[in-house]
Amino acid sequence: MFAFLNQYTHTLDDKSRLTIPADYRQAFQDGLVITCAQEPHLVLFTLPGWEALTQRFDGKPVFTDPRLADLRRLIFSNAVPMTLDGHGRIRIPDRLRLHAQIEGQAVLAGVGDHVEVWSPSLWQEKQEQLKTFPLSDAQEEMLRI
């Protein structure tokens, strides 16, 4: 499985197209799905990654659990399948760009199995939060080698 690592800042062109970093393009060669997250950022999934996410909802009480239903609505109603153009770019739909507060530039952050797309200012705020958040027992267990 491909692991998305690192972070890149790219400029959107006047048609809201965003260049995908060369390091990520191979993973997206067959296409990708872009959607919203609860926080003001976007998420890019490979097609197998998207399939794995959709399967996680199988058998869950999405019609009786309001929180699960809302999460499913957010993810699926905003999802847009797309392919890279000949220059390795995607066009970010206006509604998604507005949700993520992305204007001239975007930060693409590899977070393992997917890529997050943030406005640079919100990404900087998130980075500051990450330096100081307290770890739960489960998080500490994940970090034990």
Number of domains in the chain: 1
pLDDT at 145: 58
Q: Is residue 129 part of a domain?
A: no
pLDDT given at position 132:
83
In a domain, 128, yes or no: no
Question: Per the domain annotation, does 20 fall within a domain?
Answer: yes
CB of 114 closer than 8 Å to CB of 43: yes
Res 143 pLDDT > 70:
no
Tell me if 52 is assigned to some domain: yes
**How many Å apart are CA 143 and CA 145, to the nearest integer?**
6
Question: What is the value of pTM for the model shown?
Answer: 0.89
Convert the pLDDT of each residue in 26-70 to its tens digit. Answer: 999 999 999 999 999 999 999 999 999 999 888 888 788 888 889
User: If you average pLDDT over residues 79-86, what whole number do you get?
Assistant: 98
Residue at 140 is within a domain:
no
CATH classification of the domain holding 80? 3.40.1550.20
Contact criterion met (CB below 8 Å) for 41 and 132:
no
- The reply to whether 130 falls in a domain is no
Provide CB contacts within 8 A for 2, sequence distance 6+: 26, 27, 46
Q: In this structure, is residue 137 part of a structural domain? A: no
Helices (H), 1-145: 22-25, 47-56, 66-77, 94-99, 120-130, 137-143
**Domain boundaries, position 20:** 7-120
Q: Is residue 102 situated within a structural domain?
A: yes
* C-alpha dist (Å) from residue 89 to 19, 28, 42, 63, 65: 4, 11, 15, 37, 37
